[in-house]
Amino acid sequence: MPFDETNYIQKEIPEESQKEDGSAFSVIENDVPEFVGFKTFRPLNLEDIERSFAENAAQMYVYDVDGDGLNDVITVWHCHKYGLVWHKQIRGANGEISWEKHEILPVQPDLESKDLRISQMHSLALADTDGDGIKEIITGKRFWAHGEHGDPESNQPAVIYAFEIKRGESGVEFIPHMIDGDSGAGTQIITADLSGGGRADVLTSGKKGVYAHFYNSFNVL
Ligand SMILES: [Ca+2]
Ligand SMILES: [Ca+2]
């Protein structure tokens, strides 16, 4: 189809939002894409709505996590520290939007605990790796992002995890599945069907090297 500029609307993102590390374009409220920055939710036709989605985000995704028909926001809370979060979209009686924060991995973990925690999650992907129609949240450790001692627990194993979203009567559960324990991910995780098996495989690169992780089956933890 020939280029027709009348098919496009150009809208400049305000300067302060251009500096935000994490951002996403997706449909939250209307039938046109809206900008979601990690400090703001910015519907294109409305004034900015201040909302802190993260302290220092990685990639952000807009996805209906709990399957209630309303898009939610998924991101890392601090890409050099801790926290993997999703923000549930809530609609008020008059259609007003608010957000409810839920932690998938703790923002302030107990370092004495054996519970799963990952520091330096500087990249995030969303893809259906097991082919069940629901996307998994894929993230990993950016090993030595600021060198050996620059970030919390810099020397912990360079893991990659898929968090399976399980929707149930009592809400949403996130089941962690370790994809790999010694590779990690830099600032971007790519998913693509490399093997031709019809499911998303996972590509990572970082200080531990460049890897393709082919989906076989989820480890049962
Ligand atoms: Ca939802
Ligand atoms: Ca899936």
What per-residue confidence (pLDDT) applies to 104? Answer: 98
Residue 30 has pLDDT above 80, yes or no: no
Q: What was the pLDDT predicted at 221?
A: 38
Q: What is the Å distance from ligand 1's center to 198 Cα?
A: 26
What is the percent of the chain where pLDDT is above 70?
A: 75
pLDDT per residue as tens digits for the range 132-175: 899 999 999 999 999 999 999 999 999 999 999 999 999 999 99
* Cα 27 to averaged position of ligand 2 atoms, centre (Å): 21
Ligand 1 centroid vs 85 CA: distance in angstroms?
A: 14
Tell how far the Cα of 208 is from the centroid of ligand 2, in angstroms: 27
Residue 49 has pLDDT above 80, yes or no: no
Task: Tell me the pLDDT tens digit for each residue of 164-210.
Answer: 999 999 999 999 999 999 999 999 999 999 888 888 999 999 999 99
Ligand nearest to the CA of 218: 2
Count Cα neighbours of 171 within 13 Å in the Cβ-side half-sphere: 6
83 has a pLDDT exceeding 90: yes
Which-ligand-closest: CA of 70?
A: 1
Work out the pLDDT band at 106, boundaries 50, 70, 90: very high
Report the predicted TM-score, pTM, of the whole model to 2 decimal places.
0.84
